[in-house]
């Protein structure tokens, strides 16, 4: 009888830990998704509008300001990504004569593009 109650306690504890870890991971992924969403123009505008909970008259008054900033912010992020890729390419080019094929493969894997994929992202709008 005592072994059954101890076993039930441990099973319930294990299930609680699993549910807690999964819920914590989901909340973390949601925050990361919102932060990544702020890089796009549409995502920034929608997140600021949601966060500030503006009335329609306020939104009409400040939307040009928010849209201009969102556009510049998006361009700044794109420019940074291009500069970062160029820097990694230069580093790889400089290191190529000194590395073996196996080491070059590891280097390419290290510098492969990371982050969210932009295909099929509902908030991603094509560049103008």
Q: How far apart are CA 44 and CA 66, in angstroms?
A: 8
| HSE, side-chain direction, 13 A CA sphere, residue 101 | 0
Residues 83-112 have a mean pLDDT of: 87
**pLDDT tens per residue across span 36-75:** 888 788 888 888 888 888 888 888 888 899 889 988 988 8
Model confidence pTM above 0.75: no
Confidence class of residue 16 from pLDDT cuts 50, 70 and 90?
very high
Cα separation, 76 vs 46, in Å, equals 19
pLDDT of residue 12: 95
Q: Could you count the other beta carbons within 10 Å of the beta carbon of residue 98?
A: 8
């Amino acid at each position: 009888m005592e072994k059954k109650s101890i076993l039930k306690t441990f099973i319930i504890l294990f299930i609680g830990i699993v549910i807690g870890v999964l819920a914590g991971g989901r909340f973390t992924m949601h925050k990361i998704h919102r932060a990544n969403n702020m890089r796009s123009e549409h995502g920034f505008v929608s997140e600021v509008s949601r966060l500030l909970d503006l009335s329609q008259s306020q939104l009409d008054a400040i939307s040009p300001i928010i849209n201009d900033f969102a556009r510049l912010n998006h361009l700044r992020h794109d420019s940074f990504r291009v500069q970062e890729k160029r820097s990694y390419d230069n580093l790889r080019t400089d290191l190529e004569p000194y590395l073996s094929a196996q080491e070059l493969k590891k280097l390419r894997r290290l510098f492969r593009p990371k982050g969210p994929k932009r295909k099929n992202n509902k908030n991603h709008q094509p560049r103008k």
